Amino acid sequence: MKKVIILGCGGFVGSHLTDRLLASGDVHIEGWDVSYDKVSEHLDNPNFNFHQRYVDADTTFDELGPHIADCEAVISLAAVCTPAQYVASPVKTIRSNFIDAYSLIDLCSEHRSWLFHTSTCEVYGRTLSSYVPTDDYQDLDLYEQREDETPLIMGPTRNHRWSYATAKQLFERYIYAHSAESGMPFTIVRPYNWFGPRMDFIPGRDGEGIPRVLACFMTALLDGQPLQLVDGGGAYRTITFIDDAIDALSLMLEQPKQAQNQVFNVGNRASEVTMKDLAFLMRELAAEITGKDAFLEHPIEDITSDKFYGEGYEDCDRRVPDVTKAESRLGWKAKTDLRETLRITMTHYFEQYGRPAGLTPVRDA
Ligand code: NAD
Ligand code: UDP
């Protein structure tokens, strides 16, 4: 039986990874998180030992220390990772993504344990394209993101949007530094907008604040409010289905020789979409899933980022991953297209939250 540690096992990615690893039957998880709603079905599983704690430097050494010596991998997912918080709570964001977390690297380095860290595609920041006189993205070298070559371009310090990306970047650099000095094995994953069931929360139902775009648009559809396009909705994202992403993580865990001491982009470059097109597609799918044609006319409106997030927001213009490393080293490629990703994900949201408003999937009606 392999033993792994997962920090942040109760979150969106953590709960899907926990599902997958426990289903394999040959993995024991020591999991830490402050919440467990998304993994509650596993609490009685003898292969899952859940610790309900916020992990900081003290917890790292006191609680994780005894487990680290004999575990296969330490998987670090715990983070504050919603853009609204980067702007509203930059101190909390930096604490969570670096200060409360870096002692984990010290400890893994001391034991030479495999540190498996989820960073973010946001470490690339903005593309070079957005800084040249035309931003028409003609030259792939100016916008495609390659793990070991592409510069990391953050905006000005006064724009708190970059609090998360810079903390994540420093964390990556601290991993590299330790690995160079102690030989600690590591894997760094840069997720590209992974979407799926259980992502974030619906404000007023099971959380408060502003979630990421998927849950923002779902909230608007459920509540009969307009979908809001921040600064016109022209930003591009590539959307990756969570099951494809978990396939990538599983392949890494199964093939340490291929995965160790590497950074991997994990994204679906075929699923690129502007936020405006995403809004139109989601209202079309809402009509298809619920059988309510009124969704086809669901209002969509523009809003400034100052009004939506507050001062200090700046957007990543575009994120196109080069995924050749994941393909060649792991044999991984995203399989699920954008429409299917949204259909599965939105069906889940309507099942979980739609009943009070009579918005359940047609097949459940
Ligand atoms: P999430 O917010 O759903 O999950 C994070 C979990 O960590 C939460 O359950 C939270 O309670 C927990 N947590 C935070 N700080 C903690 C601490 N100090 N101690 C214990 N628990 C703590 O986020 P997610 O989408 O599952 O993201 C997981 C990781 O992947 C994060 O590191 C995030 O930066 C990275 N990531 C995800 C995406 C994506 O598309 N989902 C994109 C880029 C990066
Ligand atoms: N966005 C939007 N409307 C919303 C929420 C977000 O237009 O209700 C935009 C946001 O400005 C960004 C994109 O959607 O351009 C993706 O935002 P998300 O919160 O998912 O995080 P990011 O991809 O920036 O990390």
pLDDT at residue 364, as a whole number: 55
Give the span between the Cα atoms of 53 and 34, in whole angstroms: 5
- Report pLDDT digits (tens) over 99-149: 999 999 999 999 999 999 999 999 999 999 999 988 889 999 999 999 999
Give the span between the Cα atoms of 172 and 186, in whole angstroms: 10
Q: Which residues form ligand 1's pocket by a CB distance below 6 Å?
A: 7-8, 10-14, 32-35, 54-55, 77-79, 81, 96, 100, 118, 120, 191, 193-194
> Is 164 in the active site?
yes
Beta strands in 22-140 (DSSP E): 27-33, 48-52, 73-76, 115-118
Which residue's alpha carbon is nearest to atom 17 within ligand 2? 213
Cα of 235 vs centre of ligand 2, distance in Å, is: 8
Residue 145: its H or E element? strand 144-145
Which pTM was predicted? 0.98
- The domains of the chain are located at 79-353
C-alpha to C-alpha distances, 118 to 95, 124, 169, 189, 358, nearest whole angstrom: 16, 14, 11, 5, 38
Which residues, 6+ apart, have CB-to-CB distance to 307 below 8 Å? none
- Which stretches of the chain drop beneath a pLDDT of 50? none
Q: Which of 164, 313, 349, 353 is catalytic?
A: 164
pLDDT at residue 336, as a whole number: 98
Nearest Cα residue to 267 out of 133, 138, 118: 118
Domain 79-353: CATH class, spelled out: alpha beta
**HEC string for 300-319:** EEEECHHHHCCCCCCCCCCC
